[in-house]
Amino acid sequence: MKILLTNDDGVMAPGIAALARAVSTWIEACPAGEEREALIVAPDRNYSGMSSAVGDVFDYPTVRYERHHIAGADNIATYGLEAPPALCAILGALGSFGLKPDLVISGINAGANVGRSVLHSGTVGAVLSAAQLGLSGLAVSVQWGDDVHYDVAARLAIEVLDELFRAPSRTLLNLNVPNVRREHLLGVRRARISTAEVVMAAGPDAGGEPLADKGELPLLLGAASPSIGDVSDEDANDDGALIVAGYATLTPIVGPHENTDTALDDVIHTALGVISRHLAG
C-alpha cells in the first residue's frame, strides 16, 4: 500500500506535518508480509483556494522542487514544489519522485472544507485531480480556531485508510473534523454538502452610484469560511451544521464527469440541430 501526501497550505504547514507523523506510525506498524510506503509532494507555499488549477504550464514547462524534512516522519521522503496542489498530486501520482501511489491523502487543511468551499478548495482539488488518473483519495480538513487539534484529524484519517484501499478506484472522501480534543468529539456522520458560501463580493447597493472604471471590491467571508459562521439555515445533516454540533463528517464526492441525466436529452438534441443547421448554411 503506497500513499501520496499533499496539501494546499504548503509543505511546512503544521497540518501536513501532523498527517505525516500519523502515516509514519502507520508505516512502522506494518504487519508481516504487507508493504507500506508513503511520499510527500506538496506546494512550497500556501496555495489555498486554488481548486484544481495547475498553473501556466505552457509558459512554465518545468517545476522547481526542493527536498524537505518533517520531524517525526523520517521514513517519508518529502518534496516541496513550486506548484499548486493539483499539479503536485498529478506529478506525484505519475511517479515523478519514484513512488507510484495507490492512494492520495490531501491535508490536513487549516479550516473546514464544507459547503461551496468544496468547489474552491485546493485540498479537495488535489484528490479530484488524482482521481482523473485512477487513484482514490481522502481530503482532510479541521475547523479553524485557537490551538488547532490537527492530531485528532490525523487519527481519524488513518482509520479510514483500510476502507479506502478496499474501495473501488477513484473513490473520493471529504473528511472534516471539528476543532476539539478527541474526548470531546461526538462521533462521525455522513454529511451532505450544504449551500454555504465561502466568500461573497459586496458591490454597491441597488440603485446607488454606478461603479467607477477602476477600483476595489471588498470580499465578505461567508458561512463556509475556515471558522464556520452561522449555520442556522442548514439542515441537521449538512456538513457545516454537523461540524458546529461537534461531529466529524465524511462525504463521498466525485470529480467532473458526463451528465447522463435523460432530462437533458431534448436540450442537447435541439442544440445539436441548431448548430448543424448553422454549419450547413
Q: Which residues, including other chains, have CB under 8 Å from residue 245's CB and lie 6 or more apart?
A: 186, 236
Q: Is 262 left (phi over 0), alpha (psi -120 to 50) or beta?
A: alpha
* Local structure of 112: helix, strand or coil: coil
Q: What pLDDT is attached to residue 201?
A: 61
How confident is the model over 42-58, as pLDDT tens digits?
A: 999 999 989 999 988 88
Does pLDDT of 207 surpass 60? Answer: no
Mean pLDDT of the chain: 91
* Cα 78 versus chain centre, distance: 19
The answer to whether the beta carbons of residues 8 and 126 sit under 8 Å apart is: yes
Residue appearing with cell numbers 494546499: 8
Q: Return the pLDDT at 215.
A: 82
Which grid cell sits at 145?
A: 480556531
SS3 percent helix, strand, coil of the chain, rounded to 5, is 30, 20, 50
Predicted confidence (pLDDT) at residue 204 exceeds the cutoff of 90 = no
**Taking 60 as the threshold, does the pLDDT of residue 203 lie above it?**
no
Q: What percent of the chain shows pLDDT beyond 70?
A: 93
- Domain residue extents for the chain: 2-192+232-253
Answer yes or no: is pLDDT of 149 > 90. Answer: yes
User: Is it the case that residue 13 has pLDDT exceeding 90?
Assistant: yes
Do residues 109 and 143 make contact, with C-beta atoms less than 8 angstroms apart? no
pTM: 0.90
223 neighbors 231 (Cβ within 8 angstroms): yes
Q: Alpha helix locations (H) across 96-186?
A: 117-120, 122-131, 150-166
Q: Name the least confident of 1-10, 39-48, 50-59, 68-77.
A: 50-59
Closest CA to 89 of 29, 199, 6: 6
Rounded CA-CA distance 3/106 in Å is: 10
The average pLDDT across 67-75 equals 97
pLDDT digits (tens, 9 = 90+) for 238-251: 998 999 899 999 99
**What fold characterizes domain 2-192+232-253?**
Stationary-phase Survival Protein Sure Homolog; Chain: A, (3.40.1210)
